[in-house]
Structure 1
Amino acid sequence: MNNTIVVGMGEALWDVLPEGKKLGGAPANFAYHISQFGLESRVVSAVGDDKLGIEILDNFREKKLNGMIEVVPYPTGTVQVELDAEGVPCYDIKEGVAWDNIPFTPALEGLARQTRAVCFGSLAQRSVVSRETINRFLDVMPEGDGQCKIFDINLRQGFYTKEILCNSMRKCNILKINDEELVTVSRMFGYPGIDLQDKCWILLAKYNLKMLILTCGVNGSYVFTPGEVSFVETPKVEVADTVGAGDSFTATFVAAILNGKPVGEAHKLAAEVSAYVCTQNGAMPVLPDYLKDKLR
């Protein structure tokens, strides 16, 4: 598997929780979990030339997480996170920060040419600089059957537009969305009144996707591929928090697909890993060997 780097691209930030700060941002969570399955991964983002930025870089090193992180003249990103009674997070995401300003560099272009799978979201596209960088990266990536461009939609606050969502769906070949996001998107795109599955079939066909992953929290998850659908029930576990569970689901699914596993098997393992992550505090727990061994 040469030339098979997997990239998580977008926001790198600190989630400031009631009990202290934790490293956050979907791209790092995704890249970290992918690397736990033995794939070579990179986080692409930007941090500020400040204490919080240095701490992010140190943290990535400690986790043996490889990054292409530019230092830019903007503050490192932070998010105030409040947890509700069920442990579900709500976010206040600061604007005008480093990850809004990820530059497209020759080194990043070189990385794009070696990338087999990339995961990107809508949040890092709220500013024009990072949005253009993400789009250029997607355009430079090699074409081919084995390439995965995963749009993990990740709607946060009001940081998205219909235009950005449409463009990203056109550029991706795998869409990851949760049930709440699907309701928002279908309202925006003008097909509100039909059931969730029909909405998924419409998006799959309209954007010519290889796969659409729909997660519905405790109500299970679906993977739609042209002509068939896989459903897996969510394992019942004692939830510590749900932070990063979706990212671990995406990472595990992609790792399994890149390792040649069939969709159903990849889906089942993804549900299992994300359930495990829910039992742990924080987004980046070390996975137990019995889970990692399922891809060896």
Structure 2
Amino acid sequence: MNEMVVGMGEALWDVLPEGKKIGGAPANFAYHVSQFGLPSRVVSAVGEDKLGAEILDNFREKKLNCMIEQVPYPTGTVQVELDAEGVPCYDIKEGVAWDNIPYTNALEGLAHCTRAVCFGSLAQRSVVSRETINRFLDAMPVTDETLKIFDVNLRQGFYTKEILCNSFQKCNILKINDEELVTVSRMFGYPGIDLQDKCWILLAKYNLKMLILTCGVNGSYVFTPGKVSFVETPKVEVADTVGAGDSFTATFVAALLKGMSITEAHRLAVDVSAFVCTQNGAMPVIPDYLKERMK
């Protein structure tokens, strides 16, 4: 019964120029996983306030299942400004509800029946949520089929070498983009070698099943021991890129869990991510022609 797919970490409002939208990588991830018919949960915390109630109402409307505690801190918000290319710049508020996700008996029970979890570095900026994430990872079933995906997600300096190193050790799939890889390489002392060699080093050093490297318009790679998959990024008219990376991760994980090969999963993840870039916001409905490729 270990079939649950969990997105764990921040739940917040992205305050965009045209208004506010539900944000946070875990919700984006869980939402897109659920669109492919897999049971998913968002794990986070919101405040005992109007913004928190609106997040819970929004998830109910989207039929997005969650395990979200209400805590005595304000619901998280992020000011998002888009540049001329539609690329977001973030101002992430601190001391908010998702910094204080409690570890509960219910959460431990969820961990015991979780097949795959996606977590990032941002929600580990505070000790409370960091400890909760680590305890959840440790409580998951110890099997070859269990997937622990660390989607690095470096934001505003809310990360340390220690947090990254611990997360590399706890995950078995690492997802990182080219800019983050340069930052990590400087921190860990891998300068002066090309991006692919850096990926091979991380794959071997942390005994990973896979390393996913996304390079924006320059394509994406999936490294596995002894093999690499590369898929070019389709040229599309970009509305905004918010949530595109989360849809990639969700599609790739869902496809693997449904028995697709790494190459097939990779190609579908790229196509779904490209579609999300053509839409406004992080949680558009994925069209049937893409969903049918996973059946």
Query: In the alignment, does 2:29 pair up with 1:30?
Result: yes
1:102 deviation in Å? Answer: 0.1
- Distance between the aligned counterparts of 1:240 and 1:90, measured in 2? 15
Q: Deviations over 1:53-86 (max 9, x none)?
A: 0000000000000000000000000000111111
Residue 247 of structure 1 corresponds to which residue in structure 2? 246
Overall identity of the aligned pairs, in %: 87
SS in 1 for 2:237: coil
Between the aligned partners of 2:134 and 2:25, the Cα distance in structure 1 is 18
> How do 1:33-182 residues align onto structure 2 when only pairs under 5 Å count?
33-182=32-181
Q: Per the alignment, in what secondary structure is the counterpart of residue 283 of structure 2? A: coil
Letter of the 1:269 counterpart: L
Q: Deviation per CA, 1:143-199, whole angstroms, max 9, x where unpaired? A: 111110000000000100000000000000000000000000000000111000000
Amino acid at match of 2:251: T
Deviations 1:215-253 (A, max 9, x none): 000000000000000000001111000000000000000
**What amino acid is aligned across from residue 208 of structure 2 in structure 1?**
L
> Deviation at 1:3?
2.5
* Residue type of the alignment partner of 2:31: Y
Matched residues in 2 for 1:91 and 1:272: separation? 25
Which secondary structure does the structure 2 equivalent of 1:183 belong to? helix
Residue 291 of structure 1 pairs with residue 294 of structure 2: no
2:274 maps to: 275
Match of 1:238 in 2: 237
CA distance in 1, matches of 2:50, 2:180: 34
- Distance in 2 of aligned mates of 1:88 and 1:294: 29
Structure 2 residue ranges without an equivalent (≥5):
none
Which residue does 1:9 correspond to in 2? 8
- Indicate the residue corresponding to 1:191 in structure 2: 190
Q: Deviations over 1:116-141 (max 9, x none)?
A: 00000000000000000000000000
Could you state the TM-score of these two structures normalised by the residue count of structure 2? 1.00
1:206 aligned partner, one-letter code: K
SS class of match (1:108): helix
Alignment partners' CA distance in 2, 1:155 and 1:87 = 19
Cα deviation 1:240-283 (Å, max 9, x = unaligned): 00000000000000000011111000000000000000000000
Quote how far apart the aligned CAs of 1:213 are.
Answer: 0.2
Alpha-carbon distance in structure 2 between the residues aligned to 1:238 and 1:81:
20
Give per-residue Cα distances to partners, 1:10-38, cap 9 Å, x unaligned.
00000001110000000000000000000
What residue identity is the alignment partner of 2:191? P
Amino acid of the structure 1 residue aligned with 2:58: N
In the alignment, residue 283 of structure 2 is paired with which amino acid?
M
| Structure 1 consecutive aligned stretches of length 4 or more whose deviation exceeds 6 Å | none
Partner of 2:225: 226
Q: Which amino acid aligns with 1:24?
A: G
Q: Secondary structure at the match of 1:3?
A: coil
Distance 2:291 2:34 in 1: 10
> What is the letter of the counterpart of residue 144 of structure 1?
T
Question: Tell me, what secondary structure is at the counterpart of 2:239?
Answer: coil
What one-letter code is carried by the residue in structure 2 that aligns with 1:62? E
Q: Tell me the TM-score normalized by structure 1.
A: 0.99
**C-alpha distance in structure 2 between counterparts of 1:266 and 1:105, whole Å:** 34
Distance 2:191 2:280 in 1: 36
- State the distance in 2 between where 1:277 and 1:85 align: 18
- Mapped to 1, the partners of 2:24 and 2:5 lie a distance apart of 16
